[in-house]
Structure 1
């Protein structure tokens, strides 16, 4: 088994169940940990009284590593999980021995995108999010090939989205809207990195992912064919195999 544990953080607006289909193959090669982020899945939203900030969620990850007595881990995530990974790099870079960045980006939101996140947060708090949020997001979450060939996966994603706590949805959107640009953080990340992106990802395109990979000092880059933004759910065997083949490069 690979020496360092692998911790992968889920996308928005899902929870750790998005990793279910990669769990067995990755658990066979390393200690594999997939927490729910604050306010989503089974993790409650703390009452901090502070403005939503991914730095607080990053400290949750560090606290989990402490609890599990893990000094360093290969850390990564999909989409928002990637943003949170970059936040951990800012808060506690010494705890990160390698990076797995899947369908995510280094840049901050442009103002219009941030404003849209805040509007979604307000609506989720005022009327809940079940139904409309999944409906709005699904065309961008899943690639065109997946939507055509595996329509049942859209139902799985919808179920995960609808089952989240509206307060957690709102907190995550506001935290993501406020996140800083992480380009220089990644430029200083002197650890092995793996950058994966779906060929049909329209939210974080292969071009955006390639630019991120080029910033990292030691990165492998792969475009996954015929999948979109949720590549670990759309093509779990390819994602698991690619990560497993890369892990031995982490010392």
Structure 2
């Protein structure tokens, strides 16, 4: 797999599909503690007829590097990779934190983003006082327990336990520094007051039983968008792996629909 050196990090990525396709490339951006393989089903489907790119974000999966402090810095890494690949215009598909990265890129470079898909993502994390205190307290537990608890909560009850354990093991490979720093970066992320500026055709796909980023918070964001399509799917927070075929079909309809 190819890698790109970016400011002290080696970013691992996949670049698949026909280079001469008429449609612009699709760029898949994973979420917190995850890796590019969250998008396996979507990559296999879309690479048959258009160019598709995915990467392991800095400090995640098979990418190295740490020291990133903000969502904007992760967005800069994604743009650096796309510039390296000489991709000027593209579709962004971001899951969870990847959706925050996608919004950041779209706000900064609206001319480069043809369409955007936000999967289980929001523009501002909002907590009640009680949940805020609970979330703050959760950072004080042992690191492996902190990761396991957050990953377990991401799946709708009833999802196969062995699959959840596999995702916990994958997430636990992410360093404590990266996990905790980006946990804070997500809690600080707030572009809700700016999403009204986005004119890019946008699809918001959300799991009905997402308790990490509840659907009501996504709907609050959707109200602020000038023109957004919303799809709710019977799943938790991990739509790309909980309902891969349904998500792929939803993306396909949105990406092939005339503007």
After the TM superposition, list the runs of 4 or more consecutive aligned residues in structure 1 that deviate by more than 3 angstroms.
Answer: 108-120
- Asked if 2 retains the 8 angstrom alpha-carbon contact of 1:39 and 1:171, the reply is no
Residue-by-residue CA offset, 1:179-238 (whole Å, 9 max, x unaligned): 2x212332111111111011211122232222322322222111112x100011101000
- Asked if 1 retains the 8 angstrom alpha-carbon contact of 2:115 and 2:202, the reply is yes
The reply on whether 1:152 has 2:140 as its aligned counterpart is no
Output aligned runs, 1:26-175, within 5 Å: 26-47=46-67, 52-110=69-127, 113=132, 116=135, 120=139, 129=143, 131-146=144-159, 150-175=160-185
Q: Which residue number in structure 2 is paired with residue 176 of structure 1?
A: 186
Residue-by-residue CA offset, 1:143-200 (whole Å, 9 max, x unaligned): 1142xxx222212211211121222213312322332x21233211111111101121
| d(CA) in 1 for partners of 2:195, 2:257 | 18
| d(CA) in 1 for partners of 2:28, 2:38 | 10
- Asked if 1 retains the 8 angstrom alpha-carbon contact of 2:107 and 2:198, the reply is no
- Asked if 2 retains the 8 angstrom alpha-carbon contact of 1:8 and 1:33, the reply is yes
- Asked if 2 retains the 8 angstrom alpha-carbon contact of 1:40 and 1:169, the reply is no
Report the Cα offset of residue 87 of structure 1.
1.8
Report the Cα offset of residue 2 of structure 1.
6.0
Report the Cα offset of residue 47 of structure 1.
4.9
The equivalent position to 2:225 in structure 1, one of 216, 223, 229, is: 216
| d(CA) in 2 for partners of 1:9, 1:222 | 19
Label 1:46 to 1:65 Cα distance change in 2 as closer, same or farther (>3 A): same
What is the aligned length?
A: 237
The equivalent position to 1:203 in structure 2, one of 195, 198, 212, is: 212
Label 1:210 to 1:116 Cα distance change in 2 as closer, same or farther (>3 A): closer
TM-score scaled by structure 2?
A: 0.81
Bigger strand fraction: 2
TM-score scaled by structure 1?
A: 0.83
| d(CA) in 1 for partners of 2:41, 2:202 | 22
Report the Cα offset of residue 134 of structure 1.
3.3
| d(CA) in 2 for partners of 1:25, 1:57 | 26
CA RMSD of aligned residues (A): 2.5
Report the Cα offset of residue 45 of structure 1.
2.2
